[in-house]
Structure 1
Amino acid sequence: MGDPGVTDEAAARTVREERALSPMRKTIAGRLEQSYREAVHVTLSRSVDAEALLRAVDDADETAEGGNPSMVDGLLCALSDALEAHPAFNATFEDGTHVLYEEHNVGVAVAIEDGLVTPVLADVGSKSLGELASERRQLTERVKAGEYTMSTFRGGTFTVSNLGPLGVDSFDPVINPPEVAILGLGRVTERATRAEDGVAFRRRLPLDLSFDHRVVDGADAARFLGTLTERLDAADEYV
């Protein structure tokens, strides 16, 4: 005889709720499918010293036009310099053509009720730290309030996604098609570092760069992250 406590019946499932995808969520789902269907995703990760960046942002609180820049605003300044030095990443790839752009139109991911969207900050390289802070804040507020059109999300050449405030240490960001790359930001943490007079605690920022391996190689991506690290170390120049 078999065990009386074991049955061949499937476990019961009681439907709690059925949710149809909203038009925005359908668009997001379609673009994610397109990204994984078409792009060859590879992600490189690097942890960088964030002291210069965070110090520059603190110093700019009162002096920067628009006021109160965040870490992301400072990073956008450094990112623009890195994109200028490595233009293959400031690009799209469609119909077998790698198109490089002059403007650095950076999509900065924003979480709304229907999912993650990427409003585009136009021509980041032409703006000061304060201007970026003011424009990004206004753009984010409009998107969260639902005051946007589809053109708000078009024309991007690169994307940044920041999950650090949600406690995420590292992740593999998904490329926003037809762009070539996306940069993920993780949680800033303190680490003990050997110093001349003993041990110092320094803040570090995890960077995760996903790129389309059809267009750029791992060595190219490593050099891009190297330039970005150098520019972050010189972040006081943006104040």
Structure 2
Amino acid sequence: MLPPTENGDSSDTERTKNELSGTERTVLEERKLTGMRRTIANRLQESSQNAAHVTATREVDAEELSRAATLASERFDVDVSVLDVVLCALSETLAAHPGFNATLEDGVHRLYETQNVAIAVDIDAGLVTPVLTDLESKSLQEIALERRELTESVQAGDYSMSDLQGGTFTVTNLGVLGVDSFTPIINPPEVAIIGVNRIRECARPDEDGGVEFRKQITFDLSFDHRVVDGADAARFLETLSANLEDAKALV
């Protein structure tokens, strides 16, 4: 234990600790975890400790995905983003692989017909996941409108806890921030979350033996290995890839 300083100043104690360790550290700011930040920290720690996290990654051709977003924006007179098209393709993928549209509670793996997809939104207080309900019943145009309204409401602080509950699957998008790949953390009690990354130009061999540049996007699917396996995740990503490479059919 360090000896007390004469005046009991905590800064002197910190300075003494630094001297004993052979380092010097000047504190810029101290931020206690309170409110929402503490809740987020606790939930992430719970998820990390309780779920058997595994992440599978797949690179997907994004040429048709980009065209579909542009075409839909022109056709519907609505600003349809790449994420909106991804959500539409994701809905079909979840219908084909219901084990991922699910929760795990009290040892029971519950699969849902209703797709209540939580969408991660970054706000000043931290990361929140408002739920876009009944995704399976919505057209691409409806998804674009409702997702935008939901995001803007949350960013304006106009939401309640009920807007963050009842999710069956989560989408988190760091592509808008230039990220190529990351490891999403499952939002309990859900069993899976998918990370959407940026679209980038990549060199690929063409049919004539040359090189062409095509748009590519990477998806990171984190899943709870207690209830779904790696092969299941691979098939999920294969279906999502097929849906996105035929994205014009979603418009």
| TM-score tier after normalising by the smaller chain length | over 0.9
Q: Within 5 Å, give how 1:121-160 maps onto structure 2.
A: 121-160=132-171
Q: Give the distance between the partners of 2:139 and 2:75, measured in 1 at CA.
A: 12
Letter in 1 for 2:23: A
Matching of residue 18 in structure 1 with residue 21 in structure 2: no
Q: Within 5 Å, give how 1:63-74 maps onto structure 2.
A: 63-64=75-76, 67-74=78-85
Letter in 1 for 2:207: E
Letter in 1 for 2:218: P
Q: Within 5 Å, give how 1:3-42 maps onto structure 2.
A: 10-42=22-54
Partner SS, residue 104 of structure 1: coil
Q: Give the distance between the partners of 2:53 and 2:21, measured in 1 at CA.
A: 41
Q: Deviations over 1:4-41 (max 9, x none)?
A: xxx86532333322222231111111110110111000
Q: Within 5 Å, give how 1:173-212 maps onto structure 2.
A: 173-197=184-208, 198-212=210-224
Letter in 1 for 2:67: R
Q: In terms of mean alpha carbon deviation, does 14-23 or 169-178 score higher?
A: 14-23
1:223 to 231, 235, 239: 235
Structure 1 ranges of 4+ moved more than 4 A: none
Matching of residue 172 in structure 1 with residue 165 in structure 2: no
TM-score by length of 2: 0.89
Contact 1:64–1:129 at 8 Å: present in 2 too? no
Letter in 2 for 1:26: R
Q: Give the distance between the partners of 1:27 and 1:62, measured in 2 at CA.
A: 41
Q: Percent identity?
A: 60
Q: In terms of mean alpha carbon deviation, does 114-123 or 194-203 score higher?
A: 194-203
Partner SS, residue 159 of structure 2: coil
Q: Which has the larger radius of gyration?
A: 2
Partner SS, residue 58 of structure 1: helix
Q: In terms of mean alpha carbon deviation, does 190-199 or 110-119 score higher?
A: 190-199
Q: Give the distance between the partners of 1:146 and 1:21, measured in 2 at CA.
A: 20
Gaps of 5+ in 1: 1-6
Gaps of 5+ in 2: 1-18
Q: Give the distance between the partners of 1:100 and 1:174, measured in 2 at CA.
A: 20
Letter in 1 for 2:169: F
Go from structure 1 to structure 2 and tell me whether the alpha carbon gap of 1:109 and 1:9 turns closer, same or farther (over 3 Å shift). Answer: closer
Structure 2 counterpart of 1:62 = 74
Q: Give the distance between the partners of 2:151 and 2:227, measured in 1 at CA.
A: 31
Structure 2 counterpart of 1:43 = 55
Contact 1:161–1:183 at 8 Å: present in 2 too? yes
Structure 2 counterpart of 1:235 = 247
Structure 1 counterpart of 2:109 = 98
Partner SS, residue 111 of structure 1: strand
Structure 1 counterpart of 2:15 = none
